[in-house]
Amino acid sequence: MINQLIHNTFGLKVVAARMFEYGSEEELGRFLEQGEIKAPFLHVGGGSNLLFLHDRYEGTILHSLIKGIEVTHETDAEVCLRVGSGEIWDDFVDYCVRQGWYGAENLSLIPGEVGASAVQNIGAYGVEVKDLVTSVETISVDGQKRIFQQDECAYAYRDSIFKRPEMKIYFVTYVNFKLSKIEHYKLDYGTIRKQLDHAEKVTLPLVREAIIRIRQSKLPDPQVLGNAGSFFTNPIVSREKWQSLLKDYPDMPYYEVNAEHIKIPAGWMIEQTGWKGKALGPAAVHDKQALVLVNLGNATGHDIVALSEAVCQAVFSKFGIEIHPEVNFIE
Ligand code: EPU
pLDDT for position 190:
85
Question: Which of 128, 79, 124, 106 shows the shortest CA–CA distance to 186?
Answer: 106
Catalytic center residues: 158, 230, 326
* pLDDT computed for residue 3 by the predictor: 81
pLDDT in tens, 61-104: 999 999 999 999 999 999 999 999 999 999 999 999 999 999 99
Amino acid at the residue 329: F
Cα within 13 Å of Cα(67), Cβ side: 3
Pocket flag, ligand 1, residue 273 (CB < 6 Å): no
Structural domains in the chain? 2-64 (3.30.43.10), 69-180 (3.30.465.10), 226-330 (3.90.78.10)
pLDDT digits (tens, 9 = 90+) for 155-201: 999 999 999 999 999 999 999 999 999 999 999 998 899 999 988 99
Residue 37 has pLDDT above 90, yes or no: no
Pocket mutation for ligand 1, best pick of 194, 221, 268 (most atoms within 8 Å of C-beta): 268
Q: How far is the CA of 28 from the centre of ligand 1 (A)?
A: 37
Please tell me the predicted confidence (pLDDT) of residue 39.
85
d(CA 101, CA 112): 21
Q: Ligand 1: distance of its center to the CA of 307 in Å?
A: 19
% of the chain at pLDDT higher than 70? 100
Contacts of residue 223, defined as CB under 8 A and 6 or more positions apart, other chains included, come to none
How far is Cα 255 from Cα 235, in angstroms, rounded to an integer?
11
Q: Which of 230, 249, 275, 293 to mutate to test the pocket of ligand 1 (most atoms within 8 A of CB)?
A: 230
Q: Whose CA is nearest to atom 10 of ligand 1?
A: 268
Q: Which atom of ligand 1 is nearest to the CA of 326?
A: 32
Say yes or no: CB of residue 234 within 6 Å of ligand 1: yes
User: Measuring from atom 24 of ligand 1, which residue has the nearest CA?
Assistant: 267
Tens-place pLDDT, residues 230-252: 999 999 999 999 999 999 999 99
Q: What CA–CA distance (Å, rounded) separates 8 from 55?
A: 12
- Which pLDDT value is given to residue 49? 96
- pTM metric for this prediction: 0.96
Query: Average of pLDDT values for 42-46?
Result: 96
* Pair 113, 88: CB distance under 8 Å: yes
Query: Which H/E stretch holds residue 28?
Result: helix 25-33
